[in-house]
Structure 1
Amino acid sequence: MARMKEILTVAGTLACAIGIGFVMQNSDTAKARYGNQDRPAPRELEDTATSALLDVQQIRLTSGEFKGADDLPATSAFAASEPDENVIKVRAPQSVLEGPPAPGSADPVPACDITAEAQAIAAAMVNLRLDAPCFPNERVTVHHNGMIFTETTDAKGALNTTVPALARDAMFILAFGNGEGAVAQTEVEELIDYDRAVVQWKGNAGFEIHAREFGANYGDAGHHWKEAPGEVADAVIGRGGVLTRHGDIAAADPLLAEVYTFPKAGSERAGTIALSVETEVTKANCGIEAEAQSLQLTGDGQIRTQDLMLSVPECDAVGSFLVLNNLLQDLKVAGN
């Protein structure tokens, strides 16, 4: 087993009633834990933590929204106020692409139609399609029941993506920066058969979900993260969970999301799925104030949310990993 040279356990002060476990590991530990999948997985962090505690006061939960040119709209769950679940507001002003008649033409320039379609597919997912021929290679923001991420249309103004549903009556709002957009809706009857957890953030914070199913250690077959996401087909037949990532990371200042899905109704195994949120300290995020939000489906179909503001350590900690143990609740699976 690769030897873990150092683990720094950080005790954080939180500004709300819940506690978030925060663990920082150095790059040697990270290599043993993430860098070589052929090596045996290390023991649980709590069993191997031997280093001194560091006093860190900059971690707090907040309901504040992101600031900047791309402030999140009020329909987003990132906003400070809680939206009325019975009211959906959609802003669609007249297209700025419309204009006066072209020289020599008696007819005005026609408006550019924007259409969106949503279709429920396997594993309580939704195939979402957008056709916006006047918006080629354009940033578009997808909103769904509190989840929000940004994508980019192709050269023809089209977008085709798969989104995990967070509501049986699933509505999707696709909005461009000028207020134009479209709405699509579908019914997802299979959603009751799945557990689902979301983490979303902005920019280069680099958050990621780690799901360890039924006692799996890091690097085992039951450990799902961005480098080992699992297969949707396994979630369909109840064999295991699957992790999906959403948003165009190449876009400027993107909104990104990760979603973990587990087939609770079809699983033949019973036990606990340990969920944690982690981020590596890199040159892109060291020293920043990182904001994130978790969304988790409860048994009655409601969404449980938590907001996080985290001061990422300075750049001398590059290569270390921050582990947030309680931003998501572990899943309890009854089995069949």
Structure 2
Amino acid sequence: MAKSSKVLIAAGTIGTAAAVGFLMQIGRDAPAPQAAFAVSEFAAGDIDTAPLARTVEVADELPVSDITLTSSDRDPEPSRPVALPPVSPKLATMSEALPDTLPNAPRVDEACPITMTATPTIAALVDLSFSSKCDPYTRVTFHHAGISFTELTDSMGQIELTVPALAETARFTAEIAAGGAAVAITTVDSLIFYDRAVVFGQGTRGVALHALEFGAGFDDEGHVSADAPRDPVVASRGEGGFLMVLGDPTLSEGRFAQVYTFPSGMAKTGGDIDLFVEVEVLDGTCGRDLTAQTVQVNGGVRRPVQDIQIAMPDCDAVGDYLVLKTPLDDLTIAMK
């Protein structure tokens, strides 16, 4: 095995996955303000004691005569109220129309739609086109047939990527971290011609999927990995397998997936393909347990997801590798 560091063989632990208000403070009552008055002293002789009113002489009373008292006739029945004609209220109008949106208004779905399309392509792959123009540089987690991986939108809030289908009726869901989602469904009829093996997890660095085709050794032509992934066109011609890495490795605690594909239904070469998971011992993973998952699709049929629990060596083994053989079943290919 052409690796400079030591390789450890581990089996791992595998199990079947289960499925506007306001605040007003009132202080204590302050003492009432005291008005200031200027007081002057007066002598008694300074005050005018003249009477305030003059005496008015009243003439003798005048005789009253020839007065006739009158009274109005009483209405035998009070008058009823008279109904007024109806009046239509006049509505006030404004000279200018109000703006459609207020400044600093929150985002609304109508203004910021989240969309995604799915288009089948060669080698049972699906081209996904995701758009959310109000979410540039935002984490988006994609889900498909039990696996998930995390990507980052560009400056326009878009993501363009190609994903291996794991089901003939392929349903994809994209979820934005801040909320909101989009769903796209397509049919992938060619999936029955391909076998697939997947390893996936969250925030697990150093986990890698490898395939050794038809007796190949490490770094040989038939060794397929993230370092030598091959082009999907090779598989579409029945000449060999390829591997795709899903998920942005720069995202902290992001989800990832690695998918190996071989065209079993139209292979030009027969033989065995060895599949295994390799785990590098890193400073951030040594001395603790790691978890990951695997799943395989054969002839269009998806098998149950399996959990892997990996007891990592102590940190003096940093730089070494664990090779897990049991999580995946090797492939036996018949030449077509």
- Taking structure 1 as the reference length, the TM-score comes to 0.70
Looking at structure 2, the residues matched to 3 and 247 of structure 1 have their Cα atoms a distance apart, in angstroms, of 26
Looking at structure 1, the residues matched to 206 and 229 of structure 2 have their Cα atoms a distance apart, in angstroms, of 16
Q: Which residue in 1 is equivalent to 2:298? A: 298
TM-fit CA distance, 1:303: 2.5
Alignment map for 1:244-263 (pairs within 5 Å): 244-263=244-263
Q: Which residue in 1 is equivalent to 2:60? A: none
Looking at structure 2, the residues matched to 5 and 211 of structure 1 have their Cα atoms a distance apart, in angstroms, of 20
- Please say if 1:197 is aligned against 2:205: no
Looking at structure 2, the residues matched to 183 and 280 of structure 1 have their Cα atoms a distance apart, in angstroms, of 35
CA contact (8 A) 1:204 1:284 kept: no
How many aligned residue pairs are there?
Answer: 254
Q: Which residue in 1 is equivalent to 2:90? A: none
Q: Which residue in 2 is equivalent to 1:176? A: 176
TM-fit CA distance, 1:122: 0.4
Secondary structure (helix, strand or coil) at the match of 1:233 reads: helix
Q: Which residue in 2 is equivalent to 1:126? A: 126
Q: Which residue in 2 is equivalent to 1:61? A: 14
| Large movers: runs of 4+ above 3 Å | 1-9, 108-111
Q: Which amino acid aligns with 1:60?
A: T
Looking at structure 1, the residues matched to 8 and 309 of structure 2 have their Cα atoms a distance apart, in angstroms, of 20
TM-fit CA distance, 1:3: 10
Give unmatched runs, 5+ long, in structure 1: 10-20, 23-58, 64-79, 83-99
Looking at structure 2, the residues matched to 276 and 299 of structure 1 have their Cα atoms a distance apart, in angstroms, of 20
Q: Which residue in 1 is equivalent to 2:319? A: 319
CA contact (8 A) 1:141 1:148 kept: yes
Q: Specify whether residues 241 and 113 from structure 1 end up closer, same or farther in structure 2 by C-alpha distance, changes over 3 A only.
A: same
Q: Over residues 165-211 of structure 1, what are the superposed CA-to-partner deviations in whole Å (9 max), with x where a residue is unaligned?
A: 00111010000123301001111111111000100011143211110
Alignment map for 1:141-220 (pairs within 5 Å): 141-220=141-220
Q: Specify whether residues 130 and 167 from structure 1 end up closer, same or farther in structure 2 by C-alpha distance, changes over 3 A only.
A: same
- Taking structure 2 as the reference length, the TM-score comes to 0.70
Looking at structure 1, the residues matched to 135 and 312 of structure 2 have their Cα atoms a distance apart, in angstroms, of 36
Looking at structure 1, the residues matched to 265 and 314 of structure 2 have their Cα atoms a distance apart, in angstroms, of 44
Q: Which amino acid aligns with 2:184?
A: A
Q: Specify whether residues 288 and 8 from structure 1 end up closer, same or farther in structure 2 by C-alpha distance, changes over 3 A only.
A: closer
Q: Which residue in 1 is equivalent to 2:331? A: 331
Measured on the aligned residues, the alpha-carbon RMSD in Å equals 2.5
Looking at structure 1, the residues matched to 101 and 282 of structure 2 have their Cα atoms a distance apart, in angstroms, of 53
- Please say if 1:281 is aligned against 2:281: yes
State percent identity of aligned pairs.
41
CA contact (8 A) 2:213 2:222 kept: yes
Q: Which amino acid aligns with 1:223?
A: H
Q: Which amino acid aligns with 1:61?
A: I
Q: Which residue in 2 is equivalent to 1:266? A: 266
CA contact (8 A) 2:191 2:300 kept: no
Q: Over residues 112-163 of structure 1, what are the superposed CA-to-partner deviations in whole Å (9 max), with x where a residue is unaligned?
A: 1111000000000000000100111000000001110000110110010000
Looking at structure 1, the residues matched to 257 and 125 of structure 2 have their Cα atoms a distance apart, in angstroms, of 15
Q: Which amino acid aligns with 2:197?
A: A
TM-fit CA distance, 1:333: 0.7
CA contact (8 A) 1:297 1:304 kept: no
CA contact (8 A) 2:6 2:320 kept: no
Q: Specify whether residues 229 and 300 from structure 1 end up closer, same or farther in structure 2 by C-alpha distance, changes over 3 A only.
A: closer
Q: Over residues 207-262 of structure 1, what are the superposed CA-to-partner deviations in whole Å (9 max), with x where a residue is unaligned?
A: 11110001111111001111111121111101110011000111121101000000
TM-fit CA distance, 1:5: 9.6
Secondary structure (helix, strand or coil) at the match of 2:191 reads: helix
TM-fit CA distance, 1:298: 3.0
Q: Specify whether residues 103 and 250 from structure 1 end up closer, same or farther in structure 2 by C-alpha distance, changes over 3 A only.
A: closer
Name the larger-Rg structure. 2
Q: Which amino acid aligns with 1:253?
A: E
Looking at structure 1, the residues matched to 104 and 305 of structure 2 have their Cα atoms a distance apart, in angstroms, of 57
Give unmatched runs, 5+ long, in structure 2: 20-99
TM-fit CA distance, 1:300: 5.7
Q: Which amino acid aligns with 1:115?
A: T
Q: Which residue in 2 is equivalent to 1:240? A: 240
Secondary structure (helix, strand or coil) at the match of 1:304 reads: coil
Q: Over residues 81-138 of structure 1, what are the superposed CA-to-partner deviations in whole Å (9 max), with x where a residue is unaligned?
A: 42xxxxxxxxxxxxxxxxx941599xx8953111100000000000000010011100
